[in-house]
């Protein structure tokens, strides 16, 4: 058998890109993944377009790869992901180093594209094929893997928030059929996976099961050996009664929810085309907490959206005070070419920076409080790997907090009960019970 060639993939952006990178590597016949770009025969940059300077980052990364190509002229270089979708043609024209461009909805055709570049030609595919790419991908290998995995169940977005590129780079909402997802989940469990995070740009808009995402979660709960289920990212308007109920009574569904609201001012929410109000979001959180009182909440926030006043921004701070997040991500608004909001006057950069600082101070205080509140409690921890200290293992709690504890290495991949003894902003210390 021929020795496999080496594939190096650098992944940017969201978890969906992490999942896509795995699937791209699996699709590339005759290649084996490497962590060392210097030994690669092919390098793929799996890119993200969500915030500013996305394309510039790709050009500078390509510049850094130039010496590798000079040293090894046979090295093939490709650009995949959301920047490839948005600007792939231009990148290929401007940067002669690039042999291959492939969009997020066409990477099932990588073997054909690779055959083309192997002959010294250039290959570009940024179609949104009508056919589901997952139907063309091979079944996933059952080789041993770590205890946690991502599984994409839904792709694309029909929401068109006025600031966001995702509907343009990923296309319209598509759901994978439930039976295929169940098969993939069983294969993952056979490979050693105990926890699956279901992924979608709008995962709770999933409709590949009669019962929606809640129905899929309940079906997955029946898979023996799968102990934990999570999902991300959700839109508040798709959080239906069945999904709220699942948080209350589905034991394998973990008590953690990432539910971005973006802003706390109704004026700004309207301009963002979010189609919900601050009040409706807060009521939704109340219903979720009624179903699952210990639910750990996470969110995304944008500060300095065009037209955001100090008063609007203070409404965001008030919403955060009211909700109390366990963790959150916050960003300065970044105008994205082709989106409606990019046409409007931008808020002053210094004002954005100052608001981001104030919001982040509040969010990190809330995060510390949420971590502190765990001290003295007993939690489930899925151990993943040895910690930095000898004799220690690290894993994630049910609430998705990192936990360190003295534990034997054979607990890797196992869920153990741990009493939390100490808290730092980003990790908890505990002891086995």
Contacting residue, 27, 48, 220, 296, with ligand F3S by CB under 6 A: 48
| CB of 157 vs ligand SF4, minimal distance in Å | 3
Q: Is 13 in the site for ligand F3S (CB under 6 A)?
A: yes
Give 171's Cβ-side CA count (13 Å radius): 18
Contacted by 49, from ligand SAH, ligand F3S, ligand SF4, none: CB < 5 to 8 Å by type: ligand F3S
- The annotation status of 250 as a binding-site residue, yes or no, is no
Contacting residue, 78, 81, 88, 304, with ligand F3S by CB under 6 A: 81
Task: Give the interface segment with ligand SAH, choosing from 54-62, 132-140, 161-169, 373-381 (CB under 6 A).
Answer: 161-169
Task: Specify the DSSP element, H or E, that contains 67.
Answer: helix 54-71
Strand pairing class (154-155; 174-175): antiparallel
Who's near 293: CB < 8 A, 6+ residues apart?
none
Considering only CA atoms, which of 166, 179, 153, 182 is closest in space to residue 86? 166
The answer to whether the CB of 206 falls within 8 A of the CB of 153 is yes
- State phi, psi for 35 to the nearest 5 degrees: -95, 0
- The annotation status of 14 as a binding-site residue, yes or no, is yes
Task: Give the interface segment with ligand SAH, choosing from 98-106, 160-168, 171-179, 371-379 (CB under 6 A).
Answer: 160-168
Q: Is 50 in the site for ligand SAH (CB under 6 A)?
A: yes
Query: Residues 138-142: contacts with CB within 8 Å, 24+ apart?
Result: 138/26, 138/27, 139/183, 139/187, 140/23, 140/26, 140/184, 140/187, 140/188, 140/191, 141/26, 141/191, 142/187, 142/190, 142/191
Contacting residue, 11, 21, 106, 262, with ligand SAH by CB under 6 A: 262
Considering only CA atoms, which of 65, 37, 49 is closest in space to residue 12? 49
As a whole number of angstroms, the distance between CA 254 and CA 256 comes to 6
Q: Is 166 in the site for ligand SF4 (CB under 6 A)?
A: yes
Residues binding ligand F3S (CB under 6 A): 13-14, 16-17, 48-50, 81-82, 165-166, 169-170, 201
Residues binding ligand SF4 (CB under 6 A): 157, 159-161, 164, 166-167, 201-202, 235
Binding residues: 14, 48, 82, 157, 161, 164
Residues binding ligand SAH (CB under 6 A): 50-51, 163-164, 166, 201-202, 233, 235, 260, 262, 300, 302, 331, 333-334, 336
């Amino acid at each position: 058998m021929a020795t496999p060639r080496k594939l190096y993939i650098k992944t940017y952006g969201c978890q969906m890109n992490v999942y896509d990178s795995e699937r791209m590597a699996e699709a590339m016949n005759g290649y084996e993944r490497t962590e060392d770009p210097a030994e690669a025969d092919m390098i793929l940059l799996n890119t993200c377009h969500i915030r500013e300077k996305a394309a510039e980052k790709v050009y500078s990364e390509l510049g850094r790869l130039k010496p590798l190509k000079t040293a090894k002229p046979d090295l093939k270089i490709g650009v995949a992901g959301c920047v490839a979708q948005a600007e792939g043609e231009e990148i290929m024209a401007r940067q002669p180093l690039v042999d291959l461009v492939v969009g997020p909805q066409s990477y099932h055709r990588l073997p054909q594209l690779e055959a083309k570049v192997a002959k010294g030609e250039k290959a570009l595919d940024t179609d949104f094929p009508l056919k589901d790419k997952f139907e063309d991908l091979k079944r996933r290998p059952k080789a041993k893997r770590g205890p946690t995995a991502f599984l994409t169940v839904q792709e694309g977005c029909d929401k068109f928030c006025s600031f966001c590129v995702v509907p343009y780079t990923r296309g319209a909402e598509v759901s994978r059929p439930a039976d295929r997802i169940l098969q993939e989940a069983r294969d993952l469990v056979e490979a050693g996976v105990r926890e699956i995070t279901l992924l979608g740009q709008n995962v709770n808009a999933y409709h590949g099961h009669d019962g929606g995402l809640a129905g899929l979660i309940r079906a997955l709960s029946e898979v023996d050996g799968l102990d934990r289920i999570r999902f991300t990212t959700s839109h508040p308007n798709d959080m239906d009664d069945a999904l709220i109920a699942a948080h209350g009574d589905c034991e394998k569904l973990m008590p953690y929810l990432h539910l971005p609201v973006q802003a706390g001012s109704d004026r700004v929410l309207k301009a963002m085309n979010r189609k919900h109000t601050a009040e409706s979001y807060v009521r939704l959180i109340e219903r979720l907490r009624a179903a699952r009182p210990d639910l750990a909440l996470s969110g995304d926030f944008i500060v300095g959206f065009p037209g955001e006043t100090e008063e609007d921004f203070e409404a965001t701070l008030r919403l955060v005070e009211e909700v109390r997040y366990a963790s959150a991500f916050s960003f300065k608004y970044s105008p994205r070419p082709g989106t409606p909001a990019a046409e409007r006057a931008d808020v002053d950069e210094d004002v954005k920076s100052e608001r981001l600082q104030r919001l982040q101070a509040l969010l990190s205080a809330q995060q510390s409080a949420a971590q502190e509140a765990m001290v003295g409690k007993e939690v489930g921890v899925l151990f993943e790997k040895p910690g930095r200290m000898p004799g220690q293992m690290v894993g994630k709690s049910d609430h998705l907090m990192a936990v360190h504890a003295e534990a034997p290495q054979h607990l890797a991949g196992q869920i153990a009960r741990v009493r939390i003894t100490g808290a730092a902003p980003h990790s908890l210390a505990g002891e086995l019970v």
